[in-house]
Amino acid sequence: MSQPDTLKTSQAADHELVAAAAGGNFASFEVEKVAFKDKLHRFFHSHPTAAPTIVLLLAILAFSSIVGERFLQPFNMSLILQQVTIIGILGIAQTLIILTAGIDLSVGAIMVLTSVVMGRMSIEVGLPPSAALAIGLLVGALAGFINGQLVTRFRLPPFIVTLGTWNIFFALNLWYSKSETIRSQAIDQAAPLLHWTGKTVELFGAKLSYGSLLMLALFFIVWYALNWTAWGRHVYATGDDPAAARLAGIRTDRVLLSVYVAAGFICAIGAWALIGRIGSVSPQAGMTANLDSITAVVIGGCSLFGGRGAIFGTLIGALIVGVFRNGLALAGVDVLWQEFTIGVLIIVAVGMDQWIRKV
């Protein structure tokens, strides 16, 4: 591999010298090729969502040629959007945490616990659905607050904290729900508001659920907050280098705590979308949602080391997983190959991230 050498010697001045000496442009091909690779690297470095977007487009192209027009139908596209809604919303929460170099294993448990709270508050306790929804959202924020306190005040690693609270929230969910499912019909009668996220609007043959629209709105809100507010810049700074952020006057503990509370709240919104999608309130739902959300974030190009990654990458990451699952299912491929493919995607995504990080 002589590429590094060529890279070093092909500085502009050097190249001009050689070109002048040769008196022609015969050497330009190789120089341009190297420069292209260099440019590509720089492009991916400054546009973290570019690589996953290309993968998504290629995947859509590939499946539309394998499966045929059924795949590209607007309806099927909107179906994929519906299928990734829950993981997308949890992915937003997960991205916030991962940007601070943390990880949250409890996102799925918070979602299930709050969905049970929303369901039981309206069906068993008989509160108006809007109040039940509000209490659920508060419980989500509280769960995030507990995670945040344990991370900032007791200086415990986020992995351990959320490993613990994952079990705790899940046990609370089973205790509070008595392991009982609330059926779709009961919710339709007593609390139709909880099903609002499952309702759809039709647009050029596509069926968009309000849950999916809610997810897209959340992505835009969090994108704005991360990129155009001081808080957002503080989140990136804290994740990139907490010591430097502290020296720059950022109260990193406060930033971290706010991130965990926001994540908990977003998981509770995910609970609302979950009820809309599956109809019932099931204490057994969302068992693997934490790992699925991490998968979406990683495939979306967010660095697990913190401080690098764009929120829309997560949406793309979730969509990539959704496109592969849907496309392979429509093609009639055995399910185990869906799992295999997702595994390959994760490794490739992290490999890409390592390569891009090398400046």
Partner 1 sequence: MKFKAGLLALAVSASLISPLTLADKVVVGLITKTNTNPFFVKMREGAQQQADELGMDLRTFSGRFDGDNESQVQAIENLIASGAKGILIAPSDPVAVVPAIDRAREAGLLVIALDTPLSPADAADATFATDNYKAGVLIGMWAAEQLGDKAADAKIAMLNLNSSMITVDVARNQGFLEGFGIEVFDPNRIGDENDPRIVGQDVTQGAEEGGRTAMENLLQREPGINVVYTINEPAAAGAYEALKAAGRTDDVLIVSVDGGCPGVENVRDGVIGATSMQFPLRMAAMGVEAIYEFANTGKKPDASEGLDFVNTGVELITDQPLPGFDSKSSKDGMDLCWG
Residue ranges binding partner 1 (CB under 8 A)? 70, 76, 79, 82-83, 86, 174, 179-181, 183-185, 198, 200, 207, 274, 277-280, 282-288, 325-326, 329-330, 332, 334-336, 339
When the beta carbons of 227 and 288 are compared against partner 1, the nearer one is 288
Q: Please give the helix or strand (H or E) that residue 90 lies within, else none.
A: helix 85-99
Closer residue to partner 1 (CB): 106 or 238: 106
Of 7 and 203, the one with the shorter C-beta distance to partner 1 is: 203
What are the structure tokens assigned to 184, written together?
Answer: 């779709």
**Left (φ > 0), alpha (ψ -120 to 50) or beta: where does 156 sit?**
beta
**Least distance from C-beta 296 to partner 1, angstroms?**
15
Using the minimum distance from each CB to partner 1, give the nearer residue, 158 or 283: 283
User: Sign of the C-alpha dihedral, residues 172, 174, 175, 177?
Assistant: positive
- Angular region, 101: left φ>0, alpha ψ -120 to 50, beta rest: left
- Least distance (Å) between residue 108 CB and partner 1: 11
Q: Which is nearer to partner 1, 227 or 284 (CB)?
A: 284
Please, what is the minimum distance in Å from the beta carbon of residue 324 to partner 1?
Answer: 12
* Dihedrals phi, psi of 202, to nearest 5 degrees: -100, 135
CB 143 within 8 A of CB 113: yes
* The residue count for the chain: 359
- Closer CB to partner 1, 18 or 331, in the complex: 331
Q: What tokens does 209 get? A: 């659920």
Q: How far is the CB of 124 from partner 1 (least distance, A)?
A: 14
Give whichever of 82 and 303 is closer to partner 1, judged by the CB atom.
Answer: 82
- Cβ partners under 8 Å of residue 217, min gap 6: none
CB of 203 to partner 1, least distance (A): 15
Q: Whole-number minimum distance, CB 146 to partner 1, in Å?
A: 21
Sequence-ordered alpha helix ranges (H) in 125-251: 129-152, 158-177, 184-190, 210-228, 230-240, 242-247
Task: Give SS3 for 182.
Answer: strand
Closer to partner 1 by Cβ: residue 67 or 99: 67
**Residue 38 beta carbon to partner 1: minimum distance, rounded to whole angstroms:** 42
Collapsed DSSP state (helix, strand, coil) of residue 278: helix
Closest approach, Cβ 177 to partner 1, in A, equals 10
CB 69 within 8 A of CB 60: no
Cα 7 to Cα 11: distance, rounded to the nearest angstrom: 7
Spatial contact of 135 and 271, defined as CB atoms under 8 Å apart: no
What sign for the dihedral angle of Cα 209, 211, 214, 220?
Answer: negative
Is-contact 292 104, C-beta < 8 A? no
- In the complex, least distance from residue 9 CB atom to partner 1, rounded to whole angstroms: 53
Q: Closest CB to partner 1 among 34 and 72? A: 72
